A and B are shown apart, each in its own frame.
Chain A
Amino acid sequence: MMRSEPRALQLNDQGQLKHFLTLDGLNKAILTEILDRADSFLNMGEQSVKKVPLLRGKTVVNLFFENSTRTRTTFELAAKRLSADVINLNIETSATSKGESLLDTLQNLEAMQSDMFIVRHSESGAPHFIAEHCTPNVAIINAGDGRHSHPTQAMLDMLTIRRHKGQFEGLKVAIVGDLLHSRVARSQLHALKTLGAEEIRLIGPKTLVPEFFAQMGARIFYDLEKGLNDVDVIIMLRLQKERMQGALLPSESEFYRLYGLTESSLSWAKEDAIVMHPGPINRGVEIASEVADGKHSVILNQVTNGIAVRMAILSITMSGQLQNKMTDSSGGQH
């Protein structure tokens, strides 16, 4: 009957990014372009002059409806290194708590001639809603929405994997822990599939790993030893303390015993396996300190790569948005 393919809301007529909402539906060429550009920015961080003028004169608004100092800071640094003017708005404690609707807040900000919103929101699909219904002429970057998507985090993870492993073909990647609530894992799954990883394994108890992930092309393991056997990359997810209340887990200690990454469980993976974590880590809950700080860990590299990847995404999206506006205004003549 009425079967709609989700429209490529985030692409302009030329197939370039004009928003960056999800990795679902983005092809390998776009993902590779982001990684390549991020690579070129990475060297810049080591120079004394860290800025490039790609976003000069542009106003970027960090719109965080959910608090996250760390992510907001890396976006702010990325935008500033691109020479943009940056405003940080912590909406959680401002307008919407006074009863102003999301729509009104955004339209006010658009009227102030903003060029880009970096949005974090607790509702899945909120950035889609904003891009489609609120402010279509402002480039929207998804900085994490509900359980749905965290595409910039996933891309920085892809950059980290590529810099350590060279390529994705042939890689076995394990993602361990609270898959149910993880927007990072969902985005990683799309990225790894598109970039050609050989196998994506999801490991955790049934309460945290919905069976439906299998239909998205992942293999599910309930046993950590079997799941980690022979993998090249281990991604540990943060376990929120409140999960114990929802009857999803009996205790932190039982979770750690069954699914925590320790030096002994790490030995089940390949000898040169890398260990990743989107942070902030819970030492002794999902990962042992010796592993988090050990020689397999690339957790701090992820943070460094995060700024470069966000610079790449911000600059690519802004140019696609500008291209789109030029096409729109020339198309409006007839």
Chain B
Amino acid sequence: MRTTIKNGQIIDPSQSLNTQTDLHIEDDKIVAIGQAPDNFTADHEVDATNLWVLPGLVDLSVALREPGYTQKGTIASESFAAAAGGVTTLVCPPDTSPIIDTPSVAALIQDKALEAGRTNVLPIGALTKSLAGEQLSNMVALTEAGCIALSNHRQPMANTKVLFRALEYAATHDILVVFHPDETSLSVGGCVHEGMMSTMHGLAGIPETAETIALARDLILVQKTGVKAHFARLSCAKSVEMIADAKAQGMDVTADVALHNLLLTDDVLGSFDGHYHVIPPLRSEEDRLTLIEGLKSGIITAICSDHQPHEKMAKTAPFAATEPGMANVEALLPLSMLLVDEGDIPLPTLLHSLTKGPASCLGIDAGTLKVGSYADIILFDSTKKWTWSEQSKQTKGSNSPWLYNPMAEMPAGDLAGKVVATYLAGRQVFPLH
């Protein structure tokens, strides 16, 4: 099967490419950009005039909720939502039920993802059994079963010694460890950033130190053990400085940030709307701006949706009693484009942070349109206005402040820019014909 995507604006930061031309696909690979190869005759042509042709997005955190929490989402529903959002490779966290701490759970998720056929799914395995922070998981077996990395997710380790041993063992086998820095004795009970807004509204705060103290400890242990490390969902200005210092000392660590921490601050909390309950919390404007600077300077290499779908009732409660998390994967690109529209981040940096950047954190070959790569491609109409609504959405989650809800305090308006087609290894996975 040969396909030519004709006349699109091809933008690929991995090749510093931004040009209007054709892209040629044979079976599952990209075979040429511009001139077609000799003897190449397309079976199928796609007119991409006025559309952007981009590498498929790589999202470092999309909770699929299956197995265990299918009232919130399923592998089928959330991988479809991801494809609709232009994501062709996603990483799913180990906090399913059962937890991804055995090869069979990792295999089950990948089998169901293959069956759904919407997007590549790379599970993260648990660093310790049951994420309890006490006994090491079967790390090698988990990676052999397809886990791209291991993490104790947001659960604390029993003590620093167990963490140290876990990192030593992972380092022995060259396994990537994903950290969610959080000193739980400081964050316990908190639901928002500790600052003026938390004080004024009487909501229990999570201080910056909960993140930075854990990050300092983790960095020391990473340096000591030499383990491959990725720091997930940084939320504080100070954390960006600490990662910059570590890199300056020659440490080869990577970091990501959740999209909502780039778009929002804690000044949305005045309405007590549980949709803004996320962990780590929305922090101050200074934190937001420093995270943006961190992306621009390459200290932070990836933006992820941190997609956490919930059923309606999970958010129907007083603020602190709601379950944390937003479900934004389906609107990842148009929402990210707000950062370009506001002049916060240049377009190539933004696209890199959604494609090659996250791929390089994982050490995988994705997020690029280079000739010879898998044809994971999206077509994006950057000017199309559309409404993301209960009726049109694919995710089972209803928990995004940008999902149109006429009853909301401030109904979200139209989004600008829409993914009009997603190809996974040359096969169109969104929309389906």
Which residues of A line the B interface, CB within 8 A? 1-7, 9, 24, 101-103, 121, 123-126, 128-129, 132-133, 145-149, 183, 186, 210, 212-213, 215-216
Contacts and interface: CB of A to CB of B under 8 A. Distances in A.
A25 to B, nearest CB: 9
Given A1-B342, A148-B202, A215-B196, A128 B268 contact: no
Nearest to A209: B199
B39 interface: no
B271 A128 contact: yes
Nearest to A6: B270
Contacts of B401: 2
A57 B255 CA distance: 62
A148 B318 CA distance: 12
Contact of B267 (A3, A123, A210): A3
B300 to A, nearest CB: 18
A2 B264 contact: yes
A6 B338 contact: no
A216 B196 contact: yes
B399 to A, nearest CB: 14
A5 B268 CA distance: 8
B201 interface: yes
B71 interface: no
A183 B410 contact: no
Contacts of B198: 212
Contact of A125 (B263, B272, B410): B272
Interface residues of B, number: 30
Interface string B306-331: 00000001001111110000000000
B200 A216 contact: yes
Contacts of B271: 4, 6-7, 9, 128, 132
A116 to B, nearest CB: 19
Given A5-B270, A102-B317, A215-B196, A148 B203 contact: yes
B272 A128 contact: yes
B318 A121 contact: yes
Contacts, number: 91
Contacts of B365: none
A3 to B, nearest CB: 6
Given A4-B409, A146-B202, A212-B196, 4 more contacts: A101-B317, A124-B203, A125-B318, A145-B318
Most buried by B among A9, A102, A129, A133: A129
A183 B342 contact: no
B117 interface: no
A155 B142 CA distance: 61
Given A1-B263, A4-B270, A24-B200, A133 B320 contact: no
Interface string B199-234: 111111000000000000000000000000000000
Contacts of B203: 124-125, 146-148
A124 B410 contact: no
B67 interface: no
A147 B190 CA distance: 13
12 contacts: A2-B263, A4-B409, A123-B318, A129-B319, A132-B271, A145-B202, A146-B320, A147-B204, A148-B203, A149-B202, A213-B199, A216-B200
B272 A133 contact: no
Contacts of A210: 199
A129 B195 contact: no
Contact of A1 (B199, B320, B338, B409): B338
Given A2-B263, A123-B319, A216-B200, A7 B409 contact: yes
B263 A124 contact: no
B258 to A, nearest CB: 14
Nearest to A123: B318
Interface in B285-304: none
Contact of B318 (A126, A186, A216): A126
Interface string B166-206: 00000000000000000000000000001110111111100
Nearest to B315: A133
A124 B319 contact: yes
Nearest to A180: B199
B195 A132 contact: no
Contacts of A1: 263-264, 338, 342
Contacts of A215: 196
Nearest to A148: B202
